[in-house]
Amino acid sequence: MDYLPAIEIAVPRHTPVTASIIWLHGLGADGNDFASLVPQLELAESYGIRFVFPHAPSIPVSINNGYVMPAWYDIFSFDVDRELDDSQLLESARRIQDLVDREIERGIDSRRIILAGFSQGGAVAYHAALSYPEPLGGVLALSTYFATADRISISPNNLKIPIFICHGTADGIVPEELGQRSQSTLQSLGLNPEYRTYAMEHAVCPQEIADISAWFKRVLGS
């Protein structure tokens, strides 16, 4: 299997790994972008978490004049409707699902696997998690949007998946309107996302990190 390259960080030193968090970066970044947050989450070893931070492939990106950079899919326009390359997004989601499969093969219960994503990484995480055939532990959606909302087939096993949406009220890259729209769409599909905003731009802030940590603890238990 040709898996996406990734950074892996296991929090436990003396306990077995019993949970996995696969965390997708945003446009132009790589897996290192969120790896540095692991210590700030202050998660005890008892949670038994392995973090997986995959690297997106480098492709030409239309909104950046075709410049080649790490991206989960091409984006054709930056307007609120986000015209993008569907086939590339779906292929990225499939490759993330391959990483989920690998975690299950490593002995992790699917219900203790969380998919997280920032910006376009979050759009991929939404699709990969909600269409995955087995029940997953949760979706963490950071400063992102539900790009495939009108064409996804949601797995019956993930109709009750915990979802935590975080968005900056001053986000000029992915306007908060898109976060709100994602929440409304998910609710219309029968899901119950938790939604929280922060006084920030297209970024991550300390209070958000604390809230993410609390959510991980709630979802995974001790």
The DSSP annotation for 86-121 comes to: HHHHHHHHHHHHHHHHHHHHTT--GGGEEEEEETHH
Residue 203 near residue 118, CB atoms below 8 Å: no
Cite the active site residues: 119, 171, 202
Confidence category of residue 80, pLDDT binned at 50, 70, 90: low
Q: What is the pLDDT of residue 14?
A: 77
DSSP 203: S
140 closest CA partner among 170, 158, 171, 162? 162
Residue 11 to residue 16: CA distance in whole angstroms: 10
Q: Please calculate the CA angle 202-81-79 and round it to the nearest 5 degrees.
A: 60
The answer, yes or no, to whether residue 78 has pLDDT greater than 80, is: no
Q: What is the pLDDT of residue 160?
A: 95
Q: Is the pTM of this model over 0.85?
A: yes
The answer, yes or no, to whether residue 1 has pLDDT greater than 90, is: no
Distances (CA, A) of 185 to 16, 162, 182, 189: 38, 15, 5, 6
Residue 172 near residue 80, CB atoms below 8 Å: no
Residue 88 to residue 93: CA distance in whole angstroms: 9
Rounded to the nearest integer, the mean pLDDT of the chain is: 95
Confidence category of residue 177, pLDDT binned at 50, 70, 90: very high
Average pLDDT over residues 54-59: 98
Q: What is the pLDDT of residue 210?
A: 98
Show the tokens assigned to 71. Answer: 């991206």
Average pLDDT over residues 173-195: 96
Strands 194-198 and 163-168: parallel
The answer, yes or no, to whether residue 142 has pLDDT greater than 60, is: yes
Residue 19 near residue 48, CB atoms below 8 Å: yes
The answer, yes or no, to whether residue 112 has pLDDT greater than 60, is: yes
Q: What is the pLDDT of residue 156?
A: 96
The yes or no reply on domain 6-220 and CATH 3.60.21.10 is no
Q: What is the pLDDT of residue 154?
A: 96
